[in-house]
Amino acid sequence: MVIGERLKAVREAKKLSQGHIEEKTGLLRCYVSRVENGHTVPSIETLEKWTRALDISLSQLFSDNGQESKPLTALKTNTPKLDRAAHNSLRRVGEAFARMKKRDIELVTSVARQLAKQ
């Protein structure tokens, strides 16, 4: 289903008018109509506003059955969040790796693993 058709179907199922979407999102009614009729493709930011107005999540909008989708297990990690300093250091390491030979990268990675075990 095209995104405009999905937005229109959800709006109509909730018995809301295009005017309601205009009022809640700040989008012009003519723009709402253009999206719903497939003449314009909205940005992610616009879709976020729209789904808030419809009181649904982006996940529900893109779901075939209208239900909240479950997070992908591959995206669930138990790695701790990095603070800003660690993030900046990691970025600098990545930049350094881009200039290193494969053998050197493997050596640095091995040392980092050993340090992390301590």
pLDDT in tens, 56-107: 888 888 876 655 555 545 445 566 677 888 888 888 888 888 888 888 888 8
| pTM, rounded to two decimals | 0.55
8-state DSSP, 75? G
Please determine, looking at this structure, whether the domain spanning 3-69 carries the CATH number 3.30.720.110.
no
Q: Is the distance from CB of 48 to CB of 61 less than 8 angstroms?
A: no
Q: Is the distance from CB of 34 to CB of 40 less than 8 angstroms?
A: yes
pLDDT in tens, 11-41: 999 999 999 999 999 999 999 999 999 999 9
Would you list the domain boundaries of the chain?
Answer: 3-69, 84-117
